[in-house]
Amino acid sequence: MSKNSGLTRRSLLARTCAGVCALTLAGCQKLSESAWFSKVLGVGEKASYRTQRLILSRKAMAQEFTEADRSPAFRSNGTAMPNNPEYTFLADNGFADYRLKVGGLVERPMSFSLVDVRALPHRTQTTRHDCVEGWSAIGKWKGARLSALLEEVRPKPTVRYVVFHCADPMDDGGSPYYESIDMEDAFHPQTILAYELNDKPLPIANGAPLRLRLERQLGYKMAKYVMRIELVEDFSGIAGGKGGYWEDQGYEWYAGI
């Protein structure tokens, strides 16, 4: 039986509402009162049946696995050690002086130490990573919920995207790796800033001290070495203007699996 067979429009709407309520429980209480959230609800209410189904599929969870399913080793891809003296300095001291800066269109710009990030509501998930180059690996990730971090800085109503600025310069001293996601993905329960892989501190090769996990999209969206998060209405003014390092080279911005 297909997943949605036999569902009436009313029960679909009820399920959409359940999704929104689950998000609220996941830590959007304050946000739910903000103009941004009511704008999203307004759109949801007016949406056609077809759009409701699209919304449902964006909210769906990526498959999770058991610990026994994990790959023997989780390989590294792209940068394995950022060629950046500032990063090397932080790494040499176990990232004790690392601060994640969060700014842009927010009511309350903040900077978080790793202790602060670890104090945020967290999630652990064992998921499959799919790289566009044709390899996959299953790993267990633990990290802070991005929704919880965003709630702390209070996004302004005009925010549409969350941009992740990384420590690794690309192409010999070129501009750093970066990525962007929309608010729907930013508030998805499986969207986390991971600080552990397979029960150990995140290795440098996999993006220490913090890397994005966004389980419904391809590997290149999952920014490693995140140094700064910027909330924007539009990313056309950033680097090549396409919303990410690989997007600027011609890859899709929405890399759904």
Ligand X SMILES: Nc1nc2c(c(=O)[nH]1)N[C@H]1C(S)=C(S)[C@@H](COP(=O)(O)O)O[C@H]1N2
Residues of this chain that bind ligand X (CB under 6 A): 75-79, 131, 166, 168, 177, 206-207, 219-220, 222-225
CB of 113 to ligand X, least distance (A): 20
CB of 189 to ligand X, least distance (A): 21
152 bridge partner residues: none
CB of 136 to ligand X, least distance (A): 10
Question: 76 or 126, CB closer to ligand X?
Answer: 76
Instruction: Please say whether the beta carbons of 222 and 214 come within 8 A.
Output: yes
Q: Which two tokens stand for residue 93?
A: 């001291």
26-48 as b/e: b if 16+ CB within 10 A: bbbeebbebebbeebeeebeeee
For the chain, the first-to-last Cα distance in angstroms comes to: 22
Q: Is the bond preceding residue 121 a cis peptide, omega within 30 degrees?
A: no
Of ligand X, Mo ion, none, which one does residue 169 interact with (CB within 5 to 8 Å by kind)? none
Question: 112 or 177, CB closer to ligand X?
Answer: 177
Q: Binder to Mo ion among 7, 12, 131, 137 (CB under 5 A)?
A: 131
Around Cβ 14, how many Cβ atoms within 10 Å? 12
Using CB under 5 A as the binding criterion, the count of chain residues that bind Mo ion stands at 3
What is the three-class DSSP state of 182?
Answer: strand
CB of 226 to ligand X, least distance (A): 8
37 near Mo ion, judged by CB under 5 A: no
Distance in angstroms (rounded) separating the CA atoms of residues 90 and 54: 42
- Residue closest to Mo ion (Cβ): 131
Q: Which of 86, 113, 87 is nearest to 99 (CA)?
A: 113
Q: Binder to Mo ion among 155, 219, 243, 244 (CB under 5 A)?
A: 219
Q: Which two tokens stand for residue 208?
A: 């220490």
Point out which span in 148-156, 174-182, 220-228, 230-238 binds Mo ion (CB under 5 A): 220-228
CB of 160 to ligand X, least distance (A): 22
Question: 53 or 99, CB closer to ligand X?
Answer: 99
Q: Where are the beta strands (DSSP E) in 12-120?
A: 100-104, 110-112
Question: Mapped to the 3 state alphabet, what secondary structure does 99-119 carry?
Answer: CEEEEECECCCEEECHHHHHH
220 near Mo ion, judged by CB under 5 A: yes
Question: 40 or 90, CB closer to ligand X?
Answer: 90
Question: 114 or 223, CB closer to ligand X?
Answer: 223
CB of 127 to ligand X, least distance (A): 12
Instruction: Please say whether the beta carbons of 221 and 244 come within 8 A.
Output: yes
Point out which span in 88-96, 127-135, 174-182, 233-241 binds Mo ion (CB under 5 A): 127-135
Instruction: For residue 33, give Cα distances in angstroms to 8, 24, 28.
Output: 29, 10, 9
Q: Which residues bind Mo ion (CB under 5 A)?
A: 131, 219-220
